[in-house]
Amino acid sequence: MIQKAEEALGFSYAPYSHFKVAASLLTASGTVYTGCNIENAAYSPGNCAERTAMFKAVSEGERDFSAICIVNEDAEGGHGICPPCGVCRQVMMEFCRPDDFYIILAADEAHYEIYTLEELLPLGFGPGNLEG
Ligand code: THU
C-alpha cells in the first residue's frame, strides 16, 4: 500500500501549497484505489488525496473498506507523516467501521504509524447516529 501511494504522489496537483499528498485505499475484497490532492486557483474547490481515493472507489460501487495509506512530499522533497484532515476523517466515518478501519501514515516503507479511525476520530458522528 505504501508503494502504491508513493506511485500516486506523481499525479498530485499542488501548484499552490507545493505539498503533495497521495493515498492508497484498500477495499475488503482486495482492490486498491489511489488518489492525490488536486488544488485549484480558487483554493476552496481543492480536494485532499484521501477523499479523491474514497470518492473514486465509492463512485465505482465500493462500500467496504479495510485500510488507507497516506504519504506526502513537501516542497523540499521531504517525506513525513501526514495525518488526514478532519474533513477526510469524517468522510471515512461515513463508509468505514471506526474500530476496524486502519489508517497508515507512512514517511517511507520503513517508517510508518498505524491508527484505527476510532483513534483519530473519537466519538465520531456517523450514519448510525441518524438511526432511531
Ligand atoms: N492535504 C491532503 O491531500 N490530505 C491531508 O490529509 C492533508 C492536506 C492536501 C490539501 C492541500 O492540497 C495540501 O495538502 C496542503 O494543505
Q: Give the largest CA-CA distance in the chain.
A: 50
Residue-by-residue DSSP string for 26-81: EETTS-EEEEE-B--TTSTT-B-HHHHHHHHHHTTT---EEEEEEEEE-TTS----
The rounded radius of gyration (Å) of the Cα atoms in the chain is 14
CA of 84 to the centre of ligand 1 (A): 8
Check residue 15 and give its pLDDT: 98
Question: Is 71 near ligand 1, meaning CB less than 6 Å away?
Answer: no
Cross-strand bridge partners of residue 116: 102
Closest ligand 1 atom to Cα of 38: 12
Q: CATH no. for residue 17?
A: 3.40.140.10
Does any ligand 1 atom lie closer than 6 A to the CB of residue 49? yes
Ligand 1 atom closest to Cα of residue 36: 3
pLDDT in tens, the chain (132 residues): 999 999 999 999 999 999 999 999 999 999 999 999 999 999 999 999 999 999 999 999 999 999 999 999 999 999 999 999 999 999 999 999 999 999 999 999 999 999 999 999 999 999 999 997
Which residue range is the domain that position 98 belongs to?
A: 2-130
- Enter the pTM of the model: 0.97
Number of domains present in the structure of the chain: 1
Q: Whose CA is closest to atom 14 on ligand 1?
A: 19
